[in-house]
Amino acid sequence: MYKLIDGKAHSRGIREEIAKGVEDYRQKYSKDIGLAVVLVGDDGASQVYVRNKIKGCEEVGIKSFAYYLPMDSTQEQVEELVSELARNEAVHGILVQLPLPKGLDAQKILSLIPVEKDVDGFSESNLGKLCMNEECLVACTPNGVMQMLKREGIQTRGKNAVVVGRSNIVGKPMAMLLLNADATVTVCHSKTVNLKEICAGADILVAAIGRAKFITADMVKEGAVVIDVGMNRDENGKLCGDVDFENVKDKCSYITPVPGGVGPMTITMLLYNTLTAAQRSV
């Protein structure tokens, strides 16, 4: 019988801890913790994400600074804003909502965020420190996965972990976190040969490939822990993950649902990183 990993419940618990940490910081230093979010353009999904981030800040007591720039903003205008936020001592974390409109150099803009304010954990410096197993701000989604594993009491040491997906946002940092937690890690992708066999050997299987119901029952080991990072729409327009949940779940010891699994943890870990960044700044 599988156990559902409830991301909403874990998220609530962590947010309560963050709220206490924010209040302790305010009492000790007599100032607020600030998170700045920059949104360029009018992408609908990005607007929803930004609203949820602002709502999350309100919930835990972090002061949010939201900047909305028009679609036709120039590279120089966006860079000027990010540079200004980098110098602002009231801002402890900076997040530039991706994707940016075409014509803007996202990497150059992100490079202007100081490493200590990179609460998304996307900078070369933070990714490099993660690879070296040094203290850093960790990408929110994979960090959320690790928190769920820890809070469910799921052991990683000595386990065979397979990560399907090699993005800089999820796949690569996920692999590094599992490796740092003493798992034996295999990273798979679209060019991997014998993908089915590799996945079927995993004690912990993390699907982050962005293809609806890609992970099928014959790719899952009996008793495996399956973490579904995907967020897709199926043939009926219904929200689903990278895992064929209905056909996979009964082979698992633990599995995350979509929605309600990894998703709620991502913004929560952004808030966690912002608190961490503020604590390290004093």
Residue-wise pLDDT tens digits, 171-227: 999 999 999 999 999 999 989 999 999 999 999 999 999 999 999 999 999 999 999
CB 188 within 8 A of CB 195: yes
Q: Are strands 232-233 and 239-240 parallel, antiparallel or unpaired?
A: antiparallel
Please give the CATH topology (third level) of the domain spanning 30-114: Rossmann fold (3.40.50)
* pLDDT tens string 63-75: 999 999 999 999 9
Reference 127, options 138, 140, 112; nearest CA is 138
pLDDT of residue 45: 86
Across the 282 residues of the chain, what is the mean pLDDT of every consecutive 10-residue run?
A: 96 98 98 98 90 96 97 97 98 96 95 97 95 97 98 98 96 98 97 97 97 97 98 91 97 97 97 98 95
Q: How far apart are CA 89 and CA 222, in angstroms?
A: 51
User: Quick check: is 20 catalytic?
Assistant: no
Q: What proportions of the chain, in percent to the nearest 5, are helix, strand and coil? A: 45, 15, 40
Q: How far apart are CA 157 and CA 68, in angstroms?
A: 44
Reference 147, options 127, 120, 174; nearest CA is 174
Reference 165, options 214, 127, 131, 203; nearest CA is 214
Whole-structure pTM value: 0.95
**Token pair in block for residue 48:** 């929803």
Q: Where are the domains of the chain?
A: 30-114, 140-263
Reference 53, options 67, 64, 69, 42; nearest CA is 64
User: Quick check: is 97 catalytic?
Assistant: yes
With a CB cutoff of 8 Å and minimum separation 6, the contacts of 55 are: none
CATH number assigned to the domain with residue range 140-263, chosen from the 4 options 3.40.50.720, 1.10.1490.10, 3.30.70.80, 1.10.3720.10: 3.40.50.720
Q: How far apart are CA 129 and CA 90, in angstroms?
A: 25
Partner residues linked to 172 by β-bridges: none
Please tell me which residue in 63, 118, 120, 203 is annotated as part of the active site.
120
Please tell me which residue in 63, 97, 129, 242 is annotated as part of the active site.
97
ω into residue 114 within 30 of 0, thus cis? no
pLDDT of residue 1: 87
**Token pair in block for residue 241:** 């993950």
With a CB cutoff of 8 Å and minimum separation 6, the contacts of 156 are: 149, 178, 181, 182, 183, 204
Asked if domains 30-114 and 140-263 share a fold, the reply is: yes
